[in-house]
């Protein structure tokens, strides 16, 4: 078991390095702006530009630059400095992380609390209006783009422009430490909107799984043994149906922690997703590299967790 | 988010059983029958056909509706402060801040969405199937290499990768020394690049189990070349799951294109794209709701139709998960 | 300086401005069009002002920064030798200096006396001396600082040509209170004007040298104040994480070492909070409806309309805020053909360009490049225009455009050549809309175009400012004055001498020998009226070439809450001057 975990973690590290290499290629080799220009400001003489390029190490071969970046990260835990603001990438990430985590955790809570009962109920009451409503709603949820839903939600419920002003509008996010109540209310709409897509997917998936599981032999046996329907459904059925969802959820959480760009954009939440998007627009390579690595880190860690959990539950997996 | 296609190979067993029982209906006929009887899926199919027609015949549709072209800037449609007018008899869906008719732009937007979605998915499927086949069938170091590569790509936040490549390729004179010019082509490529990996993984899984099946083993023992086996035995059995998977992937790619356009790194203006229109509207939608609502509804309708069709296809191919 | 989009972004430097300025043209608004000019007298002390901006400060380092919001911030935190009062963008006033500048008879020496009793804020705390000003200017030549205008304005100082951050011989400090500039050319009056830019704000060398040794210099994050306000910092002067969180917030608090006796600024406010990163639309709404708020961005057209219609004393239209024009690349086909350029100019509906920005209230249709408030504006034709036919009709003239197309050899009045035009504009409304209007105009004339909408730094740094990029049309360009002198508007923008391979300010790459010669002569012309005549004539010549299409003289709108008594900086886009503004 320990050996398996170790192997997975090592592979995770390798993955991170490879992701950083891929980032380097995509965001640096296919350049969208010259960092020396950005740094130099305007009307810099060619000599100044050359000097800055030398200072930034831009005139060295690609491999040397990449190696510098890697060694800085590995040995000094230094992610570099943003070209745009000259702040350290690490500090920018730390500053934005709480917002993303707030957004993600809240959305997760909602989608679990909603998707599980909905999926179960729809499965057990197949064909009834509850089922049809759930399935229909779920279909809408996965078909509507999340930013459009966000805009519609703001149009309906935002207190500055909405038809029924109930919740704070876009741009009202404050950190938890500043004003817990405002933090909470400003996140309600984003949570619901972000959760909606996931809820839809998971409710559908759970429903499908439950239907399959509930027609399995052992469930019939449990019923025949006289167990209450409730027990059958929730104890036996759900447990089996939910396993694939858990792994999926793990992966999706990892994904979301890397920043939900679209939701953050619509609601003006200063999270990692927004940071990354701004960095790309400004061709701020060190910041891009930092945010992408962070996001990949979350995805990889989530993957490892899921794999290890599986291995724990099913020993056959460990030998693969 | 992943999509499963469980039990599709039960189809195979059913066929064998029916064949043995003397009912010589081919699996395809059975499939069509089931699909036809699924009313919802049929409606969805009709909607999609209509959308495709509208997209293909966009100029005609717009002309019939009496609307100006999608890029015609009507300077009388904005007031002295530059505020565009809402839905009127002349402009059914209102105009955008440049005075362009929203109805026309919504109709033309269908072109972009469908083109990018269909072609992008097509390319992704092609690449994904090839990689998955090679990895799953030949195994060994080829498999390891390809699988690891897919792992790397899947660790990358998809949207960010898309944004990055799109913005890198949209600026300047394209990527790969100008072979890929900014515009629709770039977006198609980006989307294909970003979505092929999930197909590859699924296909690989399917191939891994298929290659151990009796008919494959039999073919091999008969001395059939690898190529023959792949083309004649394995590929046909992949068709069903691929159809399902593609039809479920298509709406995702349409949404992805819209997302990229929303973020400003999709198709370049002034080409009408639903995502771009929604982004444009996001600043002023409190007073100018029409050019957010109509493209958004169109997008919703399109994606919904494809999702419903995909569901219908999956149910028709695998009746075990009956509704 | 080149036009920024969101105003807090870096700009090009300008070339020399010369001599005292005449009356800078009226700074009146149309009566009824918004709040009026204010000099801040009699304001109420106290309170906190919150400034909402979507874009971060580019840099806090006075040696680096050049964006209008940055200038707005710095004008309350550091003191330059001379400065403009908020309501007088024409005449420089002594700020750190104690008296008007003394220019020697031969024009090659500038002597400035510095006030005593001005002290640096924490952690330096000591009195400001002339040596601090000397170091501030010298560090502008250090590549770690790379000041964008140092070589342009201070380039005539003896020894500056070879300076790389070390001492410059031509800047002398005979005592603590006196600084003397010795020049190689008789441009001392110009230099006096140039000191309004932040480079002349004092920087303590013993404190700053370690930061300037780093590449890039980190002095910006350790800024020491010399004005009424400062950014909270830790014991070592580091503002990061204290008063400044990049991309999020910045605070200005009172500088305890500031002495009101040495400064004309009233400094009513106790604190100014910058909240960075929100969307302009959302912030705009909050500002109009809220309290104690000021919008640092350019308000969106719907907001302008709403403020104008429902809250007219919460919006100020700052006149003479700059001009906007579209540049056509004259160096490569097809716009090396003047007839084609004029065709495009004739076809463009400049009224529509203005309307989508908010309509008449945001400015006047431009017909040449010197704009209201700049010397020479009237001489070049004023609002009437220079008289060229292709700019006569603000709504465009299709028939005339077609005639020019035919003159260029296209019999049908539509382009039939092979070139696909690269058009690079700005992302974000309303600039993206202006770019699309021009793009559509080009297409209506038969051109095939490829439009890219990008970030402002990318537009200048990678496309429009780089001749190698072979961009044909840049619709979202423009110029903002540093001084009221016309040379700064026309010379770098249209003189063939100013075509550089990178950071090129002469975007159309106009290189007309007759115009170049006229400019060289006009540079040395002395006397307001003579300069106005000379540069006015040059403006007419440049306009006639059709190298760029002028379309708007901006009246920059600024929006603030109802309880804010905003004192607009007429010299800087109408931003509320933080050291003069008060709360009602």
The DSSP string of A1-38 is -HHHHHHHHHHHHHHHHHHHHHHHIIIIIS-SS-HHHH
Q: In terms of CATH, what superfamily is A97-317?
A: MetI-like (1.10.3720.10)
List the single residue in A with minimal CA-CA distance to C217: A86
C10–chain A Cβ distance below 8 A for any pair: yes
Q: Indicate the SS3 state at residue C51.
A: strand
Question: Phi-psi region for residue C509, left (φ > 0), alpha (ψ -120 to 50) or beta?
Answer: left
Query: pLDDT (tens digit, 9 = 90+) per residue, C540-570?
Result: 999 999 999 999 999 999 999 999 999 999 9
Residue B230 carries which DSSP code?
A: I
B270–chain C Cβ distance below 8 A for any pair: yes
For position B169, what pLDDT does the model report? Answer: 67
Residue B23 carries which DSSP code?
A: -
Q: Residue A225's CB: how many other CB atoms inside 10 A?
A: 8
Least confident of B19-33, B64-78, C15-29, C123-137: C15-29
Q: What CA–CA distance (Å, rounded) separates C479 from C206?
A: 37
Q: Indicate the SS3 state at residue C182.
A: strand
Q: Cα dihedral angle (C482, C486, C490, C492), rounded to 10 degrees?
A: -50
Average pLDDT, chain B: 80
Q: Residue A222's CB: how many other CB atoms inside 10 A?
A: 19
Q: Residue B195's CB: how many other CB atoms inside 10 A?
A: 23
Q: B83 to chain C: which residues are within 8 Å by CB?
A: 301-302, 305
| Residue contact B171–C458, C-beta within 8 A | yes
Q: Average pLDDT, stretch C5-12? A: 28
C154–chain A Cβ distance below 8 A for any pair: no
Q: Indicate the SS3 state at residue A161.
A: coil
Q: Residue C277: which of A45, A55, A270 has the nearest Cβ? A: A270
Compute the half-sphere exposure of residue C25: CA atoms within 13 Å on the CB side of its CA: 24
| Residue contact B75–C458, C-beta within 8 A | no
Q: Residue B270: which of C301, C357, C436 has the nearest Cβ? A: C436
For position A33, what pLDDT does the model report? Answer: 52
Q: Average pLDDT, stretch C283-307? A: 91
**Domain coordinates of chain A in residue numbers?**
32-78, 97-317
Residue C162 carries which DSSP code?
A: T
The candidate with the shortest Cα–Cα distance to A189, out of A155, A164, A153, is A153
Using CA atoms, how far residue C86 sits from A24, A320, C264, C576, in Å, is: 47, 74, 11, 9
List all residues of chain A from 267 to 306 with a beta carbon under 8 Å from chain C: 268, 270, 274-275, 278, 281-283
Q: What CA–CA distance (Å, rounded) separates C258 from C49?
A: 19
List the single residue in B with minimal CA-CA distance to C359: B81
Q: B281 to chain C: which residues are within 8 Å by CB?
A: none
Res. B170 pLDDT band, cuts 50 70 90: low
| Residue contact B270–C440, C-beta within 8 A | yes
Secondary element (H or E) of residue B250: helix B235-262
- Among A24, A33, A148, A206, pick the best mutation site for testing chain B contact (most B Cβ within 10 A): A148
Q: Where in chain C is the domain with CATH 3.10.105.10?
A: 327-556
CA distance B304 to chain A (A): 5
Residue B234 carries which DSSP code?
A: I
Least confident of B281-290, B297-306, C8-17: C8-17
Using CA atoms, how far residue C558 sits from B21, C35, C282, in Å, is: 83, 10, 15
Inform me whether the pLDDT recorded for C9 exceeds 50: no
| Number of separate helices (H) and strands (E) present in chain A | 14, 0
Residue B75 carries which DSSP code?
A: G
Read off the tokens for A146: 């999340």
Q: Where in chain C is the domain with CATH 3.40.190.10?
A: 43-267+558-583
Q: C360 to chain B: which residues are within 8 Å by CB?
A: 80
Residue C478 carries which DSSP code?
A: E
Tell me whether residue A10 is exposed, middle or buried, using C-beta atoms within 10 angstroms of its C-beta: 0 to 12, 13 to 18, 19 or more: exposed
For position B323, what pLDDT does the model report? Answer: 39
The candidate with the shortest Cα–Cα distance to C436, out of A33, B276, A184, is B276
C158–chain B Cβ distance below 8 A for any pair: no
For position C208, what pLDDT does the model report? Answer: 95
Q: What CA–CA distance (Å, rounded) separates B180 from B169?
A: 8
Using an 8 Å Cβ cutoff, are B116 and B189 in contact?
no
Average pLDDT, chain A: 80
A44–chain C Cβ distance below 8 A for any pair: yes
Q: Average pLDDT, stretch B239-263? A: 85
The candidate with the shortest Cα–Cα distance to C458, out of B142, B279, A84, is A84
For position C50, what pLDDT does the model report? Answer: 95
b/e map of A21-33 (b: 16 or more CB within 10 Å)?
ebbbebbbebebb
Q: What CA–CA distance (Å, rounded) separates C447 from A264?
A: 39
List the single residue in A with minimal CA-CA distance to B251: A143
For position B15, what pLDDT does the model report? Answer: 62
CA distance A12 to chain B (A): 10
How many residues does this entry show for chain A?
320
Q: Average pLDDT, stretch C105-133? A: 93
Using CA atoms, how far residue C259 sits from A270, C119, C121, C226, C266, in Å, is: 39, 8, 11, 10, 11
| Residue A204, phi then psi, degrees to nearest 5 | -60, -45
Tell me whether residue B88 is exposed, middle or buried, using C-beta atoms within 10 angstroms of its C-beta: 0 to 12, 13 to 18, 19 or more: exposed
Q: Residue C112's CB: how many other CB atoms inside 10 A?
A: 25
List the single residue in A with minimal CA-CA distance to C214: A55
Q: B282 to chain A: which residues are within 8 Å by CB?
A: 147, 151, 266
Tell me whether residue A36 is exposed, middle or buried, using C-beta atoms within 10 angstroms of its C-beta: 0 to 12, 13 to 18, 19 or more: buried
CA distance C455 to chain A (A): 7
Q: C461 to chain A: which residues are within 8 Å by CB?
A: 33-34, 37-38
pLDDT > 90: percent of chain C? 59
Q: Residue C503: which of A44, A160, A169 has the nearest Cβ? A: A44
Residue C50 carries which DSSP code?
A: E
Res. A45 pLDDT band, cuts 50 70 90: low
Q: What CA–CA distance (Å, rounded) separates C68 from C59?
A: 12
| Most confident among B130-134, C347-351, C427-431, C465-469 (mean pLDDT) | C347-351
Q: Indicate the SS3 state at residue C75.
A: helix
Pairing of β C420-426 and β C448-454: parallel
Inform me whether the pLDDT recorded for B177 exceeds 50: no
Pairing of β C271-276 and β C48-53: parallel
Instruction: Give the contacts of B122 (CB within 8 A, at least 6 positions apart).
Output: none
Q: Residue A174's CB: how many other CB atoms inside 10 A?
A: 16
| Residue contact C282–A37, C-beta within 8 A | no
CA torsion sign for B97, B101, B102, B105 is: negative
Res. A286 pLDDT band, cuts 50 70 90: confident
Q: What CA–CA distance (Å, rounded) separates B95 from C205?
A: 59
Secondary element (H or E) of residue C103: strand C102-103
Q: Is the bond into C123 cis (omega within 30 degrees of 0)? A: yes
- Helix-strand-coil split of chain C, %, nearest 5: 30, 20, 50
C352–chain B Cβ distance below 8 A for any pair: yes
Q: A281 to chain B: which residues are within 8 Å by CB?
A: 167, 264
- Among C55, C146, C286, pick the best mutation site for testing chain A contact (most A Cβ within 10 A): C146
Query: pLDDT (tens digit, 9 = 90+) per residue, A110-152?
Result: 988 988 888 888 888 777 888 888 888 888 888 888 888 898 8
CA distance C83 to chain A (A): 22
- CATH number for region C43-267+558-583: 3.40.190.10
A147–chain C Cβ distance below 8 A for any pair: no
List the single residue in A with minimal CA-CA distance to C469: A33
For position C18, what pLDDT does the model report? Answer: 22
- Among C55, C143, C293, pick the best mutation site for testing chain A contact (most A Cβ within 10 A): C143
Query: pLDDT (tens digit, 9 = 90+) per residue, A170-180?
Result: 888 888 888 88
List all residues of chain C from 241 to 260 with a beta carbon under 8 Å from chain A: 241, 245-248
Read off the tokens for A251: 């992966």
For position B164, what pLDDT does the model report? Answer: 74
Name beta bridge partners: C230: C253
Q: What CA–CA distance (Å, rounded) separates B284 from C455?
A: 21
Secondary element (H or E) of residue B11: helix B10-20
ipTM higher than threshold 0.90: no
Q: What CA–CA distance (Å, rounded) separates C212 from C221?
A: 11
Name beta bridge partners: C556: C318
For position C28, what pLDDT does the model report? Answer: 38
Q: What CA–CA distance (Å, rounded) separates B57 from B66?
A: 14
Q: What CA–CA distance (Å, rounded) separates C326 from C113?
A: 43
The candidate with the shortest Cα–Cα distance to C512, out of C526, C522, C498, is C498
| Residue B75, phi then psi, degrees to nearest 5 | -75, -10
Alpha helices by DSSP H, A215-237: 217-224, 229-231
Using an 8 Å Cβ cutoff, are C567 and C409 in contact?
no
Q: What CA–CA distance (Å, rounded) separates A302 from A12?
A: 10
Q: In terms of CATH, what superfamily is C327-556?
A: Dipeptide-binding Protein; Domain 3 (3.10.105.10)
CA distance A26 to chain C (A): 18
| Residue contact C302–B171, C-beta within 8 A | no
Q: What CA–CA distance (Å, rounded) separates C67 from B151?
A: 45
Instruction: Give the contacts of C146 (CB within 8 A, at least 6 positions apart).
Output: A39, A40, A41, A44, A48, A52, C64, C216
Tell me whether residue C180 is exposed, middle or buried, using C-beta atoms within 10 angstroms of its C-beta: 0 to 12, 13 to 18, 19 or more: middle
């Amino acid at each position: 078991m320990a050996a398996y975990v170790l192997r997975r973690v090592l592979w995770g590290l390798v993955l991170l390095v490879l992701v950083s290499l891929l980032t380097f290629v995509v965001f640096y080799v296919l350049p969208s702006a010259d960092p020396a220009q950005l740094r130099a400001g305007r009307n810099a003489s060619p000599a100044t530009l050359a000097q800055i390029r030398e200072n930034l190490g831009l005139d060295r071969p690609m491999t040397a630059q990449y190696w510098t970046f890697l060694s800085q990260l590995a040995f000094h835990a230094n992610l570099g400095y943003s070209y745009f603001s000259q702040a350290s990438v690490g500090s920018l990430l730390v500053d934005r992380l709480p917002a993303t985590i707030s957004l993600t955790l809240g959305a997760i809570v909602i989608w679990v609390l909603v998707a599980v009962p909905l999926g179960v109920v729809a499965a057990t009451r197949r064909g009834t209006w509850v089922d049809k409503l759930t399935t229909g709603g779920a279909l809408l949820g996965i078909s509507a783009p999340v930013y459009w839903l966000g805009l519609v939600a703001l149009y309906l419920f935002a207190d500055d422009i909405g038809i029924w002003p109930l919740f704070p509008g876009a741009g009202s996010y404050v950190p938890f430490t500043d004003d817990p109540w405002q933090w909470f209310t400003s996140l309600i709409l984003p949570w619901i909107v972000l959760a909606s897509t996931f809820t839809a997917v998971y409710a559908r998936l759970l429903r499908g799984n439950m239907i399959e599981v509930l027609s399995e032999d052992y469930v019939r046996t449990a019923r025949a043994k006289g167990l209450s329907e409730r027990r059958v459904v929730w104890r036996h059925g759900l447990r089996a149906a939910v396993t694939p969802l858990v792994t999926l959820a793990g992966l999706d959480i990892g994904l979301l922690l890397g920043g939900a760009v679209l939701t953050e954009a619509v609601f003006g939440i200063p999270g990692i997703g927004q940071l990354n998007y701004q960095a790309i627009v400004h061709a701020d390579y060190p910041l891009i590299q930092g945010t992408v690595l962070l996001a990949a880190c979350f995805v990889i860690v989530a993957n490892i967790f899921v794999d290890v959990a599986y291995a724990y539950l099913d020993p056959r997996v460990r030998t693969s | 988010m992943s999509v499963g296609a469980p039990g599709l190979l039960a189809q195979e067993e059913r066929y064998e059983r029916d064949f043995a029982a003397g009912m010589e209906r081919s699996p395809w006929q059975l499939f069509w029958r089931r699909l036809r009887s699924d009313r919802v899926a049929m409606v969805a199919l009709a909607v999609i056909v209509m959308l495709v027609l509208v997209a293909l015949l966009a100029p005609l549709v717009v002309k019939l509706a009496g609307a100006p072209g999608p890029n015609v800037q009507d300077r009388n449609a904005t007031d002295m402060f530059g505020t565009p007018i809402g839905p009127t008899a002349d402009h059914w869906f209102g105009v955008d801040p440049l005075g362009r008719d929203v109805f026309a732009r919504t109709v033309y937007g269908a072109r972009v969405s469908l083109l990018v979605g269909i072609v992008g998915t097509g390319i992704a499927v092609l690449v994904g199937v090839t990689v998955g086949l090679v990895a799953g069938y030949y195994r060994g170091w080829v498999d390891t290499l390809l699988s690891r590569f897919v792992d790397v790509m899947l660790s990358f936040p998809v949207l960010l990768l898309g944004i990055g490549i799109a913005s890198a390729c949209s600026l300047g004179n394209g990527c790969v020394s100008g072979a890929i010019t900014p515009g629709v082509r770039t977006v198609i490529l980006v989307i294909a690049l970003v979505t092929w990996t999930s197909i590859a993984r699924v296909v690989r899984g399917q191939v891994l189990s298929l290659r151990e099946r009796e008919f494959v083993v039999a073919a091999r023992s008969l001395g059939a070349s690898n190529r023959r086996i792949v083309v004649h035995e394995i590929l046909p059995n992949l068709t069903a799951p691929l159809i399902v998977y593609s039809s479920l992937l298509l709406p995702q790619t349409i949404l992805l294109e819209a997302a990229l356009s929303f973020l400003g790194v999709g198709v370049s203006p002034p080409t009408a794209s639903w995502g771009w229109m929604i982004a444009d509207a996001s600043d002023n939608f409190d007073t100018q709701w029409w050019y957010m609502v109509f493209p958004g509804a169109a997008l919703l309708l399109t994606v919904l139709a494809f999702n419903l069709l995909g569901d219908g296809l999956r149910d028709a191919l695998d009746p075990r998960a009956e509704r | 300086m080149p036009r920024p989009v969101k105003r807090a972004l870096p700009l090009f430097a300008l070339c020399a401005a010369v001599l005292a300025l005449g009356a800078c043209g009226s700074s009146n608004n149309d009566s009824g069009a918004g709040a009026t000019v204010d000099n801040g007298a009699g304001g109420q002390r106290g309170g906190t002002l919150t400034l909402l901006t979507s874009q971060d400060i580019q840099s806090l380092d006075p040696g680096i920064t050049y964006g209008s919001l940055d200038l707005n911030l710095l004008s309350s935190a550091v003191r330059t030798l001379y400065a403009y009062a908020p309501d007088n963008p024409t005449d420089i006033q002594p700020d750190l200096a104690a008296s008007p500048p003394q220019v020697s008879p031969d024009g090659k020496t500038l002597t400035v006396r510095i006030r005593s009793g001005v002290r640096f804020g924490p952690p330096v705390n000591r009195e400001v001396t002339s040596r601090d000003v000397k170091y501030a200017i010298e560090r502008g030549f250090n590549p770690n600082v790379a000041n964008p205008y140092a070589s342009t304005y201070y380039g005539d100082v003896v020894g500056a040509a070879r300076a790389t951050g070390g001492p410059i011989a031509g800047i002398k400090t005979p005592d603590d209170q006196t600084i003397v500039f010795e020049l190689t050319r008789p441009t001392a009056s110009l230099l006096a004007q140039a000191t309004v830019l932040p480079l002349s704000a004092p920087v303590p060398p013993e404190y700053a040298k370690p930061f300037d040794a780093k590449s890039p210099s980190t002095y910006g994050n350790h800024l020491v104040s010399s004005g009424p306000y400062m950014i909270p910092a830790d014991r070592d002067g580091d503002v990061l994480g204290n008063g400044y969180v990049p991309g999020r917030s910045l605070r200005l608090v009172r500088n305890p070492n500031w002495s009101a006796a040495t400064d004309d600024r009233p400094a009513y406010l106790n604190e100014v909070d910058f909240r960075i990163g929100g969307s302009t639309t959302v912030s705009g709404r909050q500002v109009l409806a809220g309290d104690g708020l000021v919008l640092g961005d350019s308000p969106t057209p719907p907001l302008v309309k709403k403020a104008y219609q429902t809250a007219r004393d919460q919006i100020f239209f700052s006149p003479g805020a700059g001009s906007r024009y579209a540049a056509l690349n004259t160096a490569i086909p097809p716009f090396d053909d003047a007839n084609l350029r004029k065709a495009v100019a004739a076809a463009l509906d400049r009224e529509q360009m203005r309307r989508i920005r908010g309509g008449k209230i945001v400015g006047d249709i431009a017909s040449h490049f010197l704009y209201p408030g700049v010397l020479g504006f009237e001489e070049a034709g004023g609002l009437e225009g220079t008289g060229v036919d292709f700019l006569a009709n603000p709504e465009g003239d299709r028939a005339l455009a077609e005639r020019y197309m035919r003159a260029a050899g296209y019999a049908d009045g539509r382009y039939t050549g092979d070139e696909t035009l690269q058009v690079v504009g700005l992302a974000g409304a309303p600039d993206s809309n202006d770019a699309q209007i021009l793009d559509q105009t080009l297409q209506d004339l038969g051109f095939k175009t490829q439009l890219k909408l990008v970030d402002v730094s990318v537009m200048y740094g990678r496309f429009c400012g780089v001749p190698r990029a072979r961009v044909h049309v840049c619709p979202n360009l423009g110029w903002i004055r540093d001084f009221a002198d016309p040379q700064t508007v026309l010379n770098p923008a249209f003189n063939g001498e100013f075509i550089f391979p990178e950071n090129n300010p002469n975007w159309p790459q106009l290189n007309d020998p007759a115009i170049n010669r006229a400019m060289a002569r006009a540079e040395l012309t002395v006397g307001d009226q003579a300069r106005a005549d000379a540069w006015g004539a040059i403006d007419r010549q440049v306009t006639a070439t059709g190298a760029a299409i002028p379309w708007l003289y901006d009246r920059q709108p600024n929006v603030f809450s109802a309880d804010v008594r905003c004192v607009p900086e007429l010299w800087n886009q109408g931003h509320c001057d933080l050291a003069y503004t008060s709360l009602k």
